Amino acid sequence: MLARIYKPAKTAMQSGVANTRVWLLDFEAEAARRIDPVMGWTSGSDMDASELRLTFETKEAAIAFAEKHGIPYQVFDAPPARPVVKAYSDNFAYRRRKPWTH
């Protein structure tokens, strides 16, 4: 069972950095999820992949936990975020490249 260690990305619905300062350790599914023929719900038999997610303050703490418990892991470093500096008045600027439409 392979663990992934990563920093979660911002959701599209927020402009702040809430829930992006921790490192997560979760497991990849060993078996594919299946569709229940009667209800149409998807389910899986692997509890670790679907319900177990551990949070750590640093990447090193997550790696130390995985090594201590003998869990094979893979680290995914997020690219640095580029700040987008915008102002509301930029929507109406003369230098705007796309026409203003509703």
Q: What is the mean pLDDT of residues 16-30?
A: 84
pTM metric for this prediction: 0.67
Query: How far, in Å, CA of 8 to CA of 53, rounded?
Result: 12
Structural domain for 49, as ranges:
3-78
Query: How far, in Å, CA of 45 to CA of 42, rounded?
Result: 11
pLDDT band at 43 (very low <50, low <70, confident <90, very high): confident
Q: What is the mean pLDDT of residues 2-21?
A: 81
50 is a domain residue? yes
pLDDT given for residue 101 in this prediction: 66
95 is a domain residue? no
Contacts of range 14-23, beta carbons closer than 8 Å, 24 or more positions apart: 22/55, 22/56, 22/57, 23/55, 23/56, 23/57, 23/58, 23/59, 23/61, 23/62
Ramachandran angles phi, psi of 68, nearest 5°: -65, -35
Q: Where are the beta strands (DSSP E) in the chain?
A: 3-6, 23-27, 34-35, 42-43, 53-56, 73-76
Q: Which residue has the higher pLDDT, 48 or 5?
A: 5
87 is a domain residue? no
Q: What is the mean pLDDT of residues 54-66?
A: 95
Residue 26: give its domain's CATH number: 3.30.160
65 is a domain residue? yes
pLDDT given for residue 102 in this prediction: 58
